[in-house]
Structure 1
Amino acid sequence: MNKAAVNHLYTYSRHTDEIELCRLEMRAFFNKDTHENFIFSETCIDPSRSPFMKERLDVLVTCNSVQEVADYVTTLTNDGQRFLIRCLNTIALGETAKIAHPDRRKVERSIGMAMQGEADLFQPDILYGVVQIGQQYLFGYLTESISVWREHVKKPEMYSTALSTRVARAVSNIAVPHPEGVKAIDPCCGIGNVLVEALSMGIDMDGRDINPLAVLGSRKNIAHFGLTGDVTPGPIEEAPGHYDAAIIDMPYNLYTHVTRDQQASILQAARTLTDKLVIVTIESMDDLLIDAGFEILDRCIAKKAHFEREVVVCR
């Protein structure tokens, strides 16, 4: 039995097409990634921020058996709070196979019977988690993800070519993984898919768009979800101030005829506007980014069926 230092286990659920975007988000949060559907980190992130995270386990102890976990929980004090224990092996975690439902309930009961206090299946004061990874069992406080982003899928104003809600949320996290003290902007915000996700996560982000109708649509969408954000009309070249991070979903659809020179102008304006840029594009813009003075730090392909977008992180 080993009492853990401050450490967190995050589990993930993502479609095959989303793996690379998920890993890029991992690298933004944790400065590392993995091919597995779980990751350990000392960095504490609210799992509800990510469209891919299922839960976060704040590990208290690592044991060699369920009985060792049961022995450990007898040492925990309880001041009358009701508890609930969940076994997280509802899916295969790396090479550790999924544990069948009856066996998960048996694990939960074995540990719960050893704990002080009373269990509550419906409104517990404390939620604990236990998970088998390889031959070890980890136990700790559990925070489950709430898929807030699902509520944002249907908006009053929508574009068929806008970023999906999941991609918009992941891109917001990639641009601003740790929001405290960070000021961000989406200077080509369209109807505000990125803005809605960023603002809903407490990211301080302004919006701007050259199309006044898009600005009105973005404001409407933000207000629809009870969020507050500043969205102004005008081209990026005239955006005032300076920002820590910016996200640009490069305009490309049939109704936004952006030439190569205009794309270059957008990126050159972004160079003076922000320290960090995350750009989403359907075509390579490495030459334009380099010409604008950016250094490319990271990238991935975000897929949806046969449609691909490239997400590029620059500074």
Structure 2
Amino acid sequence: MRDPEYIYTYVRHKDEQDLCKLEMRMFFGFDVPSNVLKSTVDIDPSRSPFMKERLDVMYKDTSLDGLLEQVAQLEIDEATFRVVCLNATELGATKKIGHSERRKIERTIGLRIQGEPDLDNPDLVFGVVSLDNHWYFGKHMESEAIWFQHQQKPHMYSTALSTRVARAVANIAVPQPDGVRAIDPCCGIGTVLVEALSMGINITGRDINPLVVLGSRKNIAHFGLKGDVTIGPIADVMDTYDVAIIDMPYNLFTHITAEGQLDILKEARRFAKKVIVVTIDTIDHMLTEAGFAITDRCIAKKGTFSRQILVCE
């Protein structure tokens, strides 16, 4: 039995390229410069703010005719179906296929499937794509922009991470959630918590400010999620965690000193095996002093404003 194969397509702004590639490395163990990636790793495309869709490869061939012969073997009983061609844009080095040609490919493949087509509300959606001189066919899963639904929160800070960056950070911290315990010990209004909890990540929140803890709890409840957020300094964290996410405080209301930043990192070293640090300052020396090694990093940009995302172990 061959290993499963998945094809993921991506949509991202040029400012998000570096962040997207770090998320890729955490999910798949490698990154690609293009907007399409092949892997044997199963990731729900709705987890990533950059993924557009996923094709679960069932058949592949060097020619469309060869693929059609394989598709003719497909049995879907009484289920209805629809076929979509993924070549609506350039995918890596593969050129875009025009609209009329894509519709023709979809109809040709649909005629080979023994089932009832339904373009509006099908039971099954199949995809076909031409990529690197091969043709692929399989189940198609379109990404749902869940992060977009979280943009408007009851409580917001102008300096908080965007929902897209927060979702990517949660994925970088916990690419495979099974059995992983995470904490955001400086959670603020819970932007990262909302994204992580919506993906089934086992994460708890904490903040020293009672007002922002209240806001975080209300934000979580607003989206029908459940998660624990406690009040208190990071020094009072007694449990141990697989990973901590620290968006280093920096705005006008925190007045944190360099010594305060170092204390946060030293405390995180005590209770977490791995830490994802978000910072506007270069703090490599602090991380070294706290006992961390930086294993990966990226820059998350928004116009002229930049944040560093550091993976530390």
Structure 2 partner of 1:203:
201
Does the Cα contact within 8 Å between 1:4 and 1:62 map onto a contact in 2? no
The reply to whether residue 134 of structure 1 matches residue 143 of structure 2 is no
Matches within 5 A, 1:89-238: 89-238=87-236
The reply to whether residue 62 of structure 1 matches residue 60 of structure 2 is yes
Q: Return the letter of the residue paired with 1:68.
A: G
* Residue-by-residue CA offset, 1:75-116 (whole Å, 9 max, x unaligned): 112211111111001111011111111111111001001110
The reply to whether residue 249 of structure 1 matches residue 247 of structure 2 is yes
Structure 2 partner of 1:283:
281
Answer with 25-34 or 65-74: which moved more.
65-74
Q: Distance in 2 between matches of 1:132 and 1:194?
A: 37
* Residue-by-residue CA offset, 1:289-313 (whole Å, 9 max, x unaligned): 1111111110000000000000000
Q: 2:13 aligns with which of 15, 29, 46?
A: 15
Q: Distance in 2 between matches of 1:215 and 1:109?
A: 54
Q: Distance in 2 between matches of 1:79 and 1:293?
A: 59
Q: Distance in 1 between matches of 2:141 and 2:123?
A: 12
Q: 2:75 aligns with which of 69, 74, 77?
A: 77
Q: Distance in 2 between matches of 1:221 and 1:212?
A: 14
Q: Return the letter of the residue paired with 2:219.
A: N
Q: Return the letter of the residue paired with 1:33.
A: D
Q: Distance in 1 between matches of 2:178 and 2:55?
A: 23
Which secondary structure does the structure 1 equivalent of 2:275 belong to? strand
The reply to whether residue 86 of structure 1 matches residue 84 of structure 2 is yes
The structural deviation recorded for 1:4 is: 6.2
Does the Cα contact within 8 Å between 1:4 and 1:61 map onto a contact in 2? no
TM-score, length-scaled by structure 2: 0.98
Q: Distance in 2 between matches of 1:211 and 1:190?
A: 8
The structural deviation recorded for 1:7 is: 0.8
Aligned length: 313
Q: Distance in 1 between matches of 2:126 and 2:50?
A: 21
Q: Distance in 1 between matches of 2:94 and 2:76?
A: 32
* Residue-by-residue CA offset, 1:26-55 (whole Å, 9 max, x unaligned): 000001111011111111000000000011
Which secondary structure does the structure 2 equivalent of 1:154 belong to? coil
Does the Cα contact within 8 Å between 2:45 and 2:141 map onto a contact in 1? yes
Q: 1:307 aligns with which of 281, 305, 309?
A: 305
The structural deviation recorded for 1:127 is: 1.2
Q: Distance in 1 between matches of 2:206 and 2:271?
A: 12
Cα distance change, pair 193–172 in 1 and its aligned pair in 2 (3 A)? same
Which secondary structure does the structure 2 equivalent of 1:117 belong to? strand
Unaligned residue ranges in structure 2 (runs of 5+): none
CA RMSD of aligned residues (A): 1.0
Q: Distance in 2 between matches of 1:142 and 1:33?
A: 22
Does the Cα contact within 8 Å between 1:9 and 1:57 map onto a contact in 2? yes
* Residue-by-residue CA offset, 1:246-298 (whole Å, 9 max, x unaligned): 10000001111110000000000000111110000001111111111111110
Does the Cα contact within 8 Å between 2:59 and 2:71 map onto a contact in 1? no
> Percent identical across equivalent pairs?
58
Q: 1:264 aligns with which of 262, 265, 280?
A: 262
Q: Return the letter of the residue paired with 1:159.
A: Y
Q: Return the letter of the residue paired with 2:131.
A: I
Q: Distance in 2 between matches of 1:253 and 1:301?
A: 19
Q: Distance in 2 between matches of 1:271 and 1:23?
A: 26
Unaligned residue ranges in structure 1 (runs of 5+): none
The structural deviation recorded for 1:68 is: 1.9
